[in-house]
Amino acid sequence: MLKCPLDGTELTKLEKKWHYSRFTVLSYRCEKCQRSIRGYYYHERLAFTIPKNMQSLIRKNVLAYLKGHKGLGSTEQIAEALRISVPEVKNTLKELERGGIVENIHGKK
């Protein structure tokens, strides 16, 4: 059972399900904090969860980091600097690349 990463509430209200890259994404509404929480599943196992409104915050922070470091930095360095997980960084970079904002920063798509 997926839990809200912000308050630990068990998530039972499935809103949407879709595929993103190699992940299956399940979006739930947390009944306690009313945020949309996305669970990213890889091979039926939960890989990571991201609250929806935090995704834009993470995106903003990753972009700011990349600008401040002239686009340099490994996903591990970015994760450590921003105190987020490596999958969150990778996911954000993928999103930014797809949006044409970041071009091949890490040499591969």
Rule CB under 5 A: which residues touch Zn ion? 4, 6-7, 9, 30, 32-33
Minimal distance, residue 20 CB to Zn ion, in Å: 21
Minimal distance, residue 107 CB to Zn ion, in Å: 37
Minimal distance, residue 55 CB to Zn ion, in Å: 15
The 10 Å Cβ neighbour count of residue 86 is 14
Q: What angle do CA 30, 51, 109 make, to 5 degrees?
A: 145
Nearer to Zn ion, 30 or 66 (CB): 30
Q: Give, as one character, the DSSP assignment of residue 79.
A: H
